[in-house]
Structure 1
Amino acid sequence: MDLRGLVTDLRDNAAAANERRLLALTGDREVGLDAAYTTIEAAGVDDAAVSLVTTREGFKYHRLHPDHADELMGTTREIVVFDCHEGFSANALGQVTGAVDGGGLLVLLLPPLEDVPTQLTALVDQVAVPPFSRDEVGNRFRQRLVTTLRQHPGVAIARLSTTTPDSSEPEYEASIERDGLIEPVESTPTSEPHVYTDTPFPAAAYEACRTGDQARAVAGLSVLATPGNAVVVEADRGRGKSSAAGLAAAALAADGRDGLVTAPAVDNAAELFERARELLTTLNCLDTEDATDDDSDDRTDPPLATTTGGQIRFESPLDAATLPDQPDVVLVDEAAALPVRLLERLLDAPAVGFCTTVHGYEGSGRGFAVRFRERLAESAHDVTDIELREPIRYAQDDPVEAWLAWTLLLDAEPPADQLVADATPDTVRYRRLSADDLVNDEELFRSVVGLLVAAHYRTEPDDLVRLLDAPNLELRALTHDGHPVSVALLAREGGLSSDQQDAIYRGQRVQGNMLPDVLTSQLRDPTAADPVGYRVMRIATHHAARSRGLGSELLARCHAEFGDDVDWFGVGFGATPRLLSFWQANGYQTVHLSVTRNATSGEHSALMLRPCSPAGEALAEWHSRWFRERIAGQLGDALSSLDPDVVRAALRAASLTDDMAGGIDLDDRGWRLLAGVAYGPGTYEASPHVFRQVTMAHLLEPIAELSPRQERLLVRKVLQNKPWASVAAELDFVSERQCKREFGTIATRFCEAVDNDVVADEQARYET
């Protein structure tokens, strides 16, 4: 069988089952590109149905650089050719695979399979971080890729060999190693759409559905027409959840509702808006008066407006969380790729729908379900759950979908709840898990990845490559009866050469050294990248065993294992009061708060250090002290909107040693001003500098017995300079006057907490 014959058979085999097939063309890159053209021609598809993902240019077909492979998500192609020789990544592999339609081909251009473990050097570039060399990068992921290609059903392999190596356009021969053909079996047909007449949505919304499963989802989303409802739609990719959300959004807008849509990026919502536009056109209520005449592909700008007064508009997650212009309903696409803390803020909307991918290329529905469901259950909304199972574009048992899930562990899950439900710090075993341990124990590997995915909203396929092959990573776990219940992923950072340190100081990015980079380039410490430490990249505890101290136990074991062999442990994360308190309790101190918010999470990042050696103590003390000296000025400027509870927790964690707690250091005049507010006619306005000094001292090391609200008042008014009216409203004071009087109470608490002759004299003066 030649290549053309193989392609014809693969296409017929795939079309008969409404499945996809994978064709690996292995050999020289130039010959592979030539063979890809032969494949496309033999398939007999329109040029518009083809995409090439490659670093090369000059093709007649639609072409994308691998770095932009995500642009294929939400689109469909009959053939996608992925040139893996340059620019290959696990993320791109997932993204291009998802674009192939039923009956179509995914074509991978690869070196000879026996050479793959030593090639695909883009993977090496991803994980070769200083001071480690490229020679120290593993090849376990590449070996896994080869194994799955050779063993999984539906994968054809054609070995290409050059017959005229000196020709500028070499000819080739194709030796078929695997034909990838699957014996036809009777597949389960998808159900037909059904019109749900007992819902407020028009029949056209259901008639536009492609499966009965999707129509059922649209019917479930119809409850969003009534305030007080929340809907969660979960599905694997390709089940039509975004289309269902688009149809529901259109039906709501046609009824005059204002719908706000958000997603990690505007491109993620393209399918939702496209289906919404189609239905509004069918319903003849799309208002085209404000439509632009340009050729832009951005279907979300301007908003889709209806002749009935409704609209569908897009906002970024951070902006959407403020619920601008008070929408009637909010729809969140790819919800699992957003932080839980941001999703919580969207629950203030009258009605809200969350669509999330269970086994996706960014974010995990499992993590979304585990971490967000508690908050959702506590909300005032009635919750409707919908799960989509029927694929829209290919059959239920598509072998390429199964191959991708195996290769990238997209369906990895934590251990079953009952296996770890009884875990406590006394029942667990501390284990060092090497990459070889994971490779040699697939069940363990899937459990570890499942834990990491469930605990973090941005776990992606590239993380699998790092886990297996990055030379700077260490994995530690607590296991209960052999099952991982808590895992920590540690990244070795620092220990850089003087030239590398100088490069960072001058603004050059050095991969894989996040904490030394920030301390050096942003905080201007030229030697911060010299000490060696471990940054805790991820720490995850099984949801069935949380709140038992297992995370702290794991950190304590890690600290004890490494001892003073390293200089520091560190961590960087989106700052919340709970997380800051957790890390403080484990001996970490604040050294930095970013002055800008993360565009996705809406949070300011916190960096914390835990010293392990004299060099680490010097580094942590210098940066913690510098943080304390600059933070007051930042709170009145770039950090003026930072959550006061984050400020309280960050400052409390910036003073962990006795020499850092200085107490209140006021001169006599300062004490008289403070006592005047406490016992006499003094006012805050006459002494803001005194309150600033006292507030900083107290938040670093508590001096008086103040309530959380009183401390928030000090943060908002004294440190962040907010107007009295906004402070009083935010903190639920009945009036500005009552808010101001609270300063007298606070001043009194401070005066009572110190033994000071000036204060005593001032108090006696006012009491006589």
Structure 2
Amino acid sequence: MSDHHRHCFLLKGSPNEVLSDFLTLSKHFSTPLVAAYDVSQYDTALLSSTTPFITCSFKQALQQLGRSHEAILVDLTHGVSASALAILSGTVRGNGLFAIALPNDEWLSMADQDLSRYLPWPYEPEQVTSYFKHYLLNKLQDETSPFTLLRSSKNKKHSVNPLPALKPIEPNAPLTQEQAEAQSCLLAELAKSYVLIAPRGRGKSTLLGDSLAKLLGRGRRVAITAPNQEAILSLRSRFESTLSQIGIEYELPFFAPDALINAPTEWDFLFIDEAAMIPLPMLMALNKKATHCLFSTTNYGYEGAGKGFGIRFCHDLSVQKTTQNLALQELTLNQPIRWGEMTHWKIGSMIAFF
């Protein structure tokens, strides 16, 4: 496909039937990911499967931030995690596969086990009707939905054709015009603090990794922090490939947030990725550890403070006292680069309620 849109399927059937269809569709994709409230049945199936895949419970979904996948199956049979859906849908590459699994019948009457995280004592999921499931199912089956229904049954055979293999990701693709403009603002070094707030798939990690390498090439003392190193895998990849082009060998200067705060070192530039997942007092302390700080995040609620980050924290940065020309410069990236814009809009409109 030339439009870079993702393939979206709604797979209905038993877990074995759904897994078989998903693995057939993703035959030409590398290491498909299966996510569910409880992945034990898929871990068991993996032992006898001739096709390798990896599993991820909804509780582990945050570990997928900053990663990219060619194919993902999200099984909602036993629980619906709005956060996991929002996170995982944003990690699928353009022309990749994003599938949602449901049982053939009676799903709406089944208890949503994920509700146990929210219900007050003494309520149990079996005692509560999940109206969100009704909302979600209507959206999935609506005529404007990007999802194509593929139903399995014992009495009805259907043919499933593998999707075409994806082209390899260019290791050091040129920055988009938006990324280049944002980088120019950083390299101008006019502001004390920079805030980059953008939705998923806009190239924040690429911009950060590329900018870190170029600042290092200019002799600046730079550092990067994030809630965990797993969240910056694509950032690290871009950092290393850009350094290779410059002709410099240097380990990514990653530090845990608390280690940076407690260390006496002062930096020229400090980048904070997935910033809304870090408590605001800690972010303010990090802002004092460098001449210039860049705070990068999405404005989705699953990344911690969400909108509170963009409102309260940005206000505090805008009124801070500084010797720089600007106290705060806000940067944005709007153009999707991981997938086609229309498909992203359709999926995004479905999960906006999350």
Q: With structure 2 as the length reference, what TM-score do the two structures score?
A: 0.83
User: What is the aligned partner in structure 1 of residue 86 from structure 2?
Assistant: 94
1:246 matched to 2:209: yes
User: What is the aligned partner in structure 2 of residue 326 from structure 1?
Assistant: 266
User: What is the aligned partner in structure 1 of residue 179 from structure 2?
Assistant: 214
Q: Structure 2 counterpart of 1:132, which letter?
A: Y
1:173 to 157, 160, 163: 157
- Offset at residue 214 of structure 1 (A): 1.4
User: What is the aligned partner in structure 2 of residue 104 from structure 1?
Assistant: 96
1:30 matched to 2:16: yes
1:314 to 217, 242, 254: 254
- Relative to structure 1, is the Cα distance of residues 17 and 259 closer, same or farther in structure 2, using a 3 angstrom cutoff? same
User: What is the aligned partner in structure 1 of residue 130 from structure 2?
Assistant: 139
3-state SS of paired residue (1:131): coil
- Offset at residue 333 of structure 1 (A): 0.8
Identify unmatched segments of 5+ residues in structure 2.
161-171
Q: Structure 2 counterpart of 1:25, which letter?
A: L
The alignment covers a number of residue pairs equal to: 327
3-state SS of paired residue (2:341): coil
1:156 matched to 2:148: yes
CA contact (8 A) 2:112 2:125 kept: no
3-state SS of paired residue (1:142): helix
- Relative to structure 1, is the Cα distance of residues 320 and 118 closer, same or farther in structure 2, using a 3 angstrom cutoff? farther
User: What is the aligned partner in structure 2 of residue 705 from structure 1?
Assistant: none
3-state SS of paired residue (1:238): coil
Identify unmatched segments of 5+ residues in structure 1.
1-14, 164-171, 177-206, 288-303, 305-311, 410-460, 462-768
Q: Structure 1 counterpart of 2:35, which letter?
A: V
1:391 to 307, 321, 336: 336
CA distance in 2, matches of 1:125, 1:357: 27
| 1:479-518 equivalent positions in 2, closer than 5 A | none
Q: With structure 1 as the length reference, what TM-score do the two structures score?
A: 0.40
User: What is the aligned partner in structure 1 of residue 6 from structure 2?
Assistant: 20
- Offset at residue 268 of structure 1 (A): 2.0
CA distance in 2, matches of 1:18, 1:336: 29
CA distance in 2, matches of 1:103, 1:247: 25
CA distance in 1, matches of 2:291, 2:52: 46
- Offset at residue 174 of structure 1 (A): 4.6
3-state SS of paired residue (2:94): strand
CA distance in 2, matches of 1:122, 1:22: 25
User: What is the aligned partner in structure 2 of residue 657 from structure 1?
Assistant: none
- Offset at residue 222 of structure 1 (A): 1.0
CA distance in 2, matches of 1:115, 1:407: 23
- Relative to structure 1, is the Cα distance of residues 131 and 21 closer, same or farther in structure 2, using a 3 angstrom cutoff? same
User: What is the aligned partner in structure 2 of residue 335 from structure 1?
Assistant: 275
User: What is the aligned partner in structure 1 of residue 167 from structure 2?
Assistant: none
Per-residue CA shift, 1:431-482, capped at 9, x if unaligned? xxxxxxxxxxxxxxxxxxxxxxxxxxxxxx5xxxxxxxxxxxxxxxxxxxxx
User: What is the aligned partner in structure 2 of residue 366 from structure 1?
Assistant: 307
User: What is the aligned partner in structure 2 of residue 406 from structure 1?
Assistant: 350
- Offset at residue 88 of structure 1 (A): 4.9
CA contact (8 A) 1:116 1:146 kept: no
3-state SS of paired residue (2:219): coil
- Relative to structure 1, is the Cα distance of residues 133 and 355 closer, same or farther in structure 2, using a 3 angstrom cutoff? closer
3-state SS of paired residue (1:96): helix
- Offset at residue 278 of structure 1 (A): 1.1
User: What is the aligned partner in structure 2 of residue 39 from structure 1?
Assistant: 25
- Offset at residue 250 of structure 1 (A): 0.8
Percent identical: 25
CA distance in 1, matches of 2:32, 2:56: 14
> Structure 1 or 2: larger helix share?
1
- Offset at residue 324 of structure 1 (A): 4.1
* Larger Rg computed on CA atoms: 1
3-state SS of paired residue (2:114): helix
User: What is the aligned partner in structure 1 of residue 165 from structure 2?
Assistant: none
3-state SS of paired residue (2:26): helix
CA contact (8 A) 2:79 2:115 kept: no
CA distance in 1, matches of 2:198, 2:287: 21
CA distance in 2, matches of 1:364, 1:216: 27
| 1:600-639 equivalent positions in 2, closer than 5 A | none
| 1:114-125 equivalent positions in 2, closer than 5 A | 115-119=106-110, 121-125=112-116
CA distance in 1, matches of 2:207, 2:35: 29
- The higher-RCO structure (CA 8 Å, 6+ apart) is 2
Q: Structure 1 counterpart of 2:16, which letter?
A: E
Q: Structure 2 counterpart of 1:23, which letter?
A: F
Per-residue CA shift, 1:498-530, capped at 9, x if unaligned? xxxxxxxxxxxxxxxxxxxxxxxxxxxxxxxxx
User: What is the aligned partner in structure 1 of residue 220 from structure 2?
Assistant: 257
Per-residue CA shift, 1:142-195, capped at 9, x if unaligned? 1121011011431111222112xxxxxxxx53599xxxxxxxxxxxxxxxxxxx
User: What is the aligned partner in structure 1 of residue 163 from structure 2?
Assistant: none
CA distance in 1, matches of 2:263, 2:234: 22
